[in-house]
Chain A
Amino acid sequence: MNYRLLFPELFLFLWIIFIFVLDFFWDKEKTNYLGWFSLLGLGITIALVFGSGTGRLFGGMFLADSFSFYFKLVFLSASFLAILSSIDFVKKIEKYRGEYFGLILLSTLGMMFLCSAGELITLYIALELTTIPLFVLSAYLKKDFRSAEAGIKYVILGAISSAILIYGISIIYGLTGMTDLGLIQFSLAQQHLRFGPFGPALIFGIIFFIAGFGFKLALVPFHMWAPDVYEGAPTPITAFLSVASKGAGLAAFIRIFFVSFNVYQPDWVMIVAVLASLGMIFGNIVALLQTNIKRMLAYSSIAQIGYIMIGVVAFSWRGISALSFYVFAYLFANMGAFISAITFSNVTGSDEIEDYAGLSRSSPGLALFMAVFLLSLVGIPPLAGFVAKYYIFASAIEKGHIGIVVIAILTSVVALYYYAGVIKKMYFHKSEKEVNFSIPFSLKLALFICLLGVLIAGLFPTPFIDLATKAAQVFKYW
């Protein structure tokens, strides 16, 4: 057995314990360093991911391939940015600062296992390992009743969706007797050949899977938690939720649906297409009316997942490549937008779009950053969002899914309206009060990383697309 494959996860796990222990022994003043410690751990983990190679462990329970490699990098970067943007933020929290970082890392660990899981038990445990720390984190601001409300909504809906998912898993297990994703596909295909199409049981199973993962992805109609939790949770956690947690759900979704349910593709692609279209329409329209920047970004991320699912609907390796690249572009743009919002609210204490008026004068740099990230989310060239959108639309058109692309383009226009609204506020409205912006180093660094990501992936996307394509090659069943 080649345990090298597991090194990044093992290391990260030990590091988390290390952080918890340090937090326990250090007094309050020193806990500020825990953030930087966590970043160090993440850095080493990224290096280990690069060095760990590919292969299978434990009889296929743990897969390290180019797909998991790609997504691990995405999760680790998102976690890195989330922690970096939290370092200044945690000063608001009175107790247990170290646990805050530890929990983010724990969730990241879950995501790394999730995208490497080759089997349902591992996958389910990894999923819960991803989610449970997030429940805690979203309720982390104990003084803020909104944070508590976000926590209770997230945990109850999360538990329900988890129960639905596990019921779906039990059905699939019952139909095949297997939990290994590849063997499930094999078994389903064989039974299909021998006895003809399955009855409603399999459809129930698949739908329960879609519901369970739909919750993680915030697909309409399983999105209900998203806006409330995004608004109530601490903003760095919101950023992390909107990117990493979604990415993790997506990675697992692709593994299951492109491997296990490969044969039943016509049955589920239609559902996904409808849900994705609903997401684009609903998310973009409702975002129009929002007055809170976090809530607006929450609805926009509901719409964004609709765009991402276009890659799934395309059902081709190009589709997976496109959506992987989209996740990458979305990572920097969305994280960047949230980090700008964190910076803004750290200074002004407000998340209202109304208060962004005149930001271009009080802090031209921050306004420019925010504008670039929002424009990338819309998909304006030469930013990363443009290439990502173009690529994902092309992959769908290639397979003849014109309808969903038309919806996507039309709703993009709506999206442009509310993103541009924020930019307009920042640049063309005057503010009543003068605010002095001094941005701490950690946030500056985080903003610069995001900006670089958005620009580089927009101007020179080829190496990233190559990586994404390599990741997609894992699923060459067609």
Chain B
Amino acid sequence: MITLNHYLALASILFCIGIYGVLTRRNAISVLMSIELMFNAANINFIAFSKFITPVFLTGQVFAVFVITIAAAEATVALAIVILIYRHHKEINVDKINFLKW
């Protein structure tokens, strides 16, 4: 039997993988993908809570749909800016972009 706790554990593991990816990856695209993982961890939470805590209402599921939409919008903008970066620097390693500092 898969309980709420299983879902929550999955979500938190996914969230931590996302954090790990965000911290270790240097490629901007990989960082964005890791961020998607973090969003999806939250989505799993929403769906699970919706199913187990408020089975009558669909609040959590609606929320998840919105989060997916927003994440998509965010990713679009981010990718556009990554392309912009690529045009300037001819690479997308985030650690090579540090003109602005101190």
Q: Which of A145-192 contact B (CB under 8 A)?
A: 145-146, 148-153, 155-156, 158-160, 162-164, 166-167, 169-171, 173-174, 177-179
A179 nearest in chain B by CB position: B59
Asked whether A435 is an interface residue with its Cβ less than 8 Å from the other chain, the reply is no
The 8 Å CB contact of B66, one of A125, A146, A148, A227, is A125
Cβ-defined contact, B81 with A135, below 8 A: yes
Cβ-defined contact, A179 with B63, below 8 A: yes
Q: Which residues of A contact B78 (CB under 8 A)?
A: 135, 152, 155-156, 159
Q: In the docked arrangement, what's the CA distance between A255 and B97, Å? A: 37
Cβ-defined contact, A149 with B74, below 8 A: no
Q: Which residues of A contact B63 (CB under 8 A)?
A: 120-121, 124, 169-170, 173, 179
> In angstroms, how far is the closest chain A Cβ from the Cβ of B48?
8
Asked whether B13 is an interface residue with its Cβ less than 8 Å from the other chain, the reply is no
Query: What number of A residues sit within 8 Å (CB to CB) of B?
Result: 41
The 8 Å CB contact of A155, one of B46, B77, B87, is B77
Q: Which residues of B contact A83 (CB under 8 A)?
A: none
> In angstroms, how far is the closest chain B Cβ from the Cβ of A123?
11
B12 nearest in chain A by CB position: A167
Asked whether B10 is an interface residue with its Cβ less than 8 Å from the other chain, the reply is no
Asked whether A28 is an interface residue with its Cβ less than 8 Å from the other chain, the reply is no
* CB-CB under 8 A for A149 and B77, given A156-B94, A174-B49: no
* CB-CB under 8 A for A145 and B89, given A135-B78, A163-B38, A166-B67: yes
How many A-B pairs have beta carbons closer than 8 Å: the answer is 127
Asked whether B17 is an interface residue with its Cβ less than 8 Å from the other chain, the reply is no
Q: Which of B7-65 contact A (CB under 8 A)?
A: 8, 11, 15, 18, 22, 28, 31-32, 35, 38-39, 41-43, 45-46, 48-49, 53-54, 59-60, 62-63
Cβ-defined contact, B53 with A152, below 8 A: no
Q: In the docked arrangement, what's the CA distance between A128 and B28, Å? A: 21
Asked whether A30 is an interface residue with its Cβ less than 8 Å from the other chain, the reply is no
Cβ-defined contact, B100 with A152, below 8 A: no
Cβ-defined contact, B85 with A152, below 8 A: yes
Q: Which residues of B contact A178 (CB under 8 A)?
A: 59
Q: In the docked arrangement, what's the CA distance between A54 and B102, Å? A: 46
> In angstroms, how far is the closest chain A Cβ from the Cβ of B76?
9
The 8 Å CB contact of A132, one of B8, B31, B43, B73, is B73
Q: Which residues of A contact B46 (CB under 8 A)?
A: 170, 173
Asked whether A232 is an interface residue with its Cβ less than 8 Å from the other chain, the reply is yes
Cβ-defined contact, B101 with A139, below 8 A: no
Q: Which residues of B contact A160 (CB under 8 A)?
A: 22, 35, 38
Q: Which residues of A contact B41 (CB under 8 A)?
A: 167
The 8 Å CB contact of A159, one of B74, B100, B101, is B74
Q: Which residues of B contact A159 (CB under 8 A)?
A: 32, 35, 74-75, 78
The 8 Å CB contact of A173, one of B8, B15, B49, B97, is B49
The 8 Å CB contact of A146, one of B15, B80, B81, B100, is B100
B45 nearest in chain A by CB position: A170
Q: Which residues of B contact A124 (CB under 8 A)?
A: 63, 66-67, 70
Q: In the docked arrangement, what's the CA distance between A155 and B70, Å? A: 13
Asked whether A355 is an interface residue with its Cβ less than 8 Å from the other chain, the reply is no
Asked whether A231 is an interface residue with its Cβ less than 8 Å from the other chain, the reply is yes
Q: In the docked arrangement, what's the CA distance between A476 and B38, Å? A: 36
Q: Which residues of B contact A153 (CB under 8 A)?
A: 97, 100
Q: Which residues of A contact B81 (CB under 8 A)?
A: 135-136, 139, 148, 151-152, 155
Q: In the docked arrangement, what's the CA distance between A162 and B41, Å? A: 13
Cβ-defined contact, B74 with A228, below 8 A: no
A-B contact pairs, 30 of them (CB 8 A): A121-B59, A121-B63, A121-B66, A128-B73, A135-B74, A135-B77, A145-B88, A149-B85, A151-B84, A151-B85, A152-B28, A152-B84, A153-B100, A155-B78, A156-B35, A156-B78, A159-B75, A160-B35, A160-B38, A162-B39, A162-B74, A166-B42, A166-B67, A170-B11, A170-B42, A170-B63, A174-B8, A177-B49, A228-B101, A231-B100
Interface residues of B (CB under 8 A from A): 8, 11, 15, 18, 22, 28, 31-32, 35, 38-39, 41-43, 45-46, 48-49, 53-54, 59-60, 62-63, 66-67, 70, 73-75, 77-78, 80-82, 84-85, 87-89, 94, 97-102
In the complex, given contacts A155-B77, A169-B42, A177-B53, what are 15 additional A-B residue pairs having Cβ atoms less than 8 angstroms apart?
A120-B63, A121-B62, A128-B73, A128-B74, A132-B77, A135-B74, A136-B81, A145-B88, A149-B100, A159-B32, A162-B74, A163-B18, A170-B49, A173-B45, A231-B100
